[in-house]
Amino acid sequence: MDLADNGAMVIKIESARRLDLGRRSPPFAGKSTDHDGSAFFAQSNTSKKSVTLNLSDPRGVELARQLVLWADVVVENFGPGYMERIGLGYDTLRQIKPDIILASVSVAGRSGPMAGFRGYGNSAAAHSGHAALSGWPDRPPHMPPLAYGDVVAPMFATVAVLSALEYRQRTGKGQHLDISQIEPMVHVIADLFAAPQARKTGNSDPVMSPHGVYPCAGHEKWIAIATETDAQWRSICAVLRIAPDPVFDTAQDRVTHADAVDQALGRATAVVDRDTLLAELAAAGVPAAAVQDGRDVFEDPELRAAGHFVAVDHPVLGTSMMPTPPMKFSHTPACVTAAPCLGAHNKDVFCDMLGMSARDVEELHAQGVIA
């Protein structure tokens, strides 16, 4: 999606018979049976084009091969061996286009004893140590509330593709990229693998205290506070009228007595209005933030000002808000357009790009090939 939003022409090959799981994922505009009505899919596939191909039909595979000839990069996340079985393995792709870049994304990668592992969104959290180190020290492991591996692995895949394009630019060579979900999940907690004895710590930090989430007045009103300097701690005490205690003077003191610090701070925050406290802490230069829920995020003034959500017209969803890339280029700005309806670009791609006649496209559609 990052590539498409930033100007790459991304053609998504889909099956009308076996729909992309995203098209069946809520929330929906209208009926859940409308494969173009998933707001989730729309959000996850902005700026792409969609064609339908039946890859179990050799004629569908042949059309895919013609698209390979056009492409710089092929990205796939089929099970191991599937691309080879249908005649689209890397060796074949390289014969079609010698400098092609193939990025294969899977749960456990294309080699090793777990190469065939069929997992789901949270499998990588279990196999990477995330689940074991999430949660409170006195409770069982905790799974992320979403498929975090589905977030991190595609980001690594984007870096992989961009670095392979750079390599091709200088050497003329393509390559096969093998991106596992587990390995990026390990990388993003490399600091825990580097620690002598990593353990579950809830919200605490090895060198910062206070460092946690504290209740404020009202239901589910929480404030996150981190303290990087002793001066910030003194500011917190001043704002909340906590009497200075020499036992807590230094960061090391506070980390040693972190439970007592958290209890004192929690007692003080529990009776104050969160937004008032946030304003006072911000003015004092203390890192603090509201723990925002989905509504807060959607309405967040900072995100709105940053253009994080932009209104995009979609044929089924109507005008709806879509997220934008978190980066702004001074000379090559991004442009987010609507996610495609299923097969919306069959004519553009098969007729205008590949030179097929409209009649041939219609016939192959009727025969279940462009479908």
Partner 1 sequence: MSQLQGIRVLELSDGLVDLGGRMLAELGATVISVSRRDTSTQARELAWGHGKHRYSWPEDVSSLLPVLAGADMFLDDRRRGPALPENLLVENDRLIHVIARPYSADGPRSGHVATDLTLMAQSGLMHITGDPDRPPLRFPGEQAYALTGIQVATAGLMALHARHRTGQGQRVDVSALQSTTLANYREAIMYEWTGRIGTRTGNRLVRGKSGVRQVWPCADGYVTWSMIDNPNMMRAVVKVLEQHNAAGELAAVDWSAILVADMPQDVIDHWQSILEAFFARHPKVQLGQWSLELGWGLSVIQNLDEVRESDHLAQRGLFVPVTSDTGTTRLPGPLFGHDAGGPPPPRTLSPKATLNSFPGWEAFE
Instruction: Report the catalytic residues.
Output: 150
- Among residues 183, 245, 253, 360, which is the contact residue for partner 1, using CB under 8 A? 183
Residue closer to partner 1 (CB basis): 213 or 242: 213
- Among residues 91, 305, 319, 359, which is the contact residue for partner 1, using CB under 8 A? 305
Instruction: Considering only residues 206 through 225, tell me which ones interact with partner 1, judged by CB under 8 A.
Output: 206-208, 211-215, 220, 222-225
Print the binding letters for residues 307-326 with partner 1: x by CB under 8 A, - otherwise: -xx----------xx-xx-x
- Stretch binding partner 1 (CB under 8 A), from 12-20, 54-62, 178-186, 252-260: 178-186
The number of residues that bind partner 1 (CB under 8 A) is: 138
How far is Cα 87 from Cα 76, in angstroms, rounded to an integer? 14
Least separation, in Å, of the C-beta of 12 and partner 1?
17
Least separation, in Å, of the C-beta of 365 and partner 1?
30
Question: DSSP letter at 51?
Answer: E
**Structural tokens at position 185:** 């999940």
129 binds partner 1 (CB under 8 A): yes
Instruction: Considering only residues 68 through 97, tell me which ones interact with partner 1, judged by CB under 8 A.
Output: none
Q: Which amino acid would we find at residue 118?
A: R
- Stretch binding partner 1 (CB under 8 A), from 46-54, 128-136, 340-348, 349-357: 128-136
182 binds partner 1 (CB under 8 A): yes
Instruction: Considering only residues 278 through 297, tell me which ones interact with partner 1, judged by CB under 8 A.
Output: 282, 285-297
Closest to 321 (Cα-Cα) out of 2, 46, 48: 46
How far is Cα 96 from Cα 296, in angstroms, rounded to an integer? 50
Closest to 213 (Cα-Cα) out of 199, 202, 197: 202
31 binds partner 1 (CB under 8 A): no
Helix (H) or strand (E) holding 148: helix 148-171
Least separation, in Å, of the C-beta of 222 and partner 1?
6
The answer for 172, left when phi > 0, alpha when psi is -120 to 50, beta otherwise, is left
- Among residues 203, 250, 252, 276, which is the contact residue for partner 1, using CB under 8 A? 203
How far is Cα 155 from Cα 359, in angstroms, rounded to an integer? 40
194 binds partner 1 (CB under 8 A): yes
- 3-class DSSP state of 99: coil
How far is Cα 326 from Cα 291, in angstroms, rounded to an integer? 20
- How many other C-beta atoms lie within 10 A of the C-beta of residue 311? 10
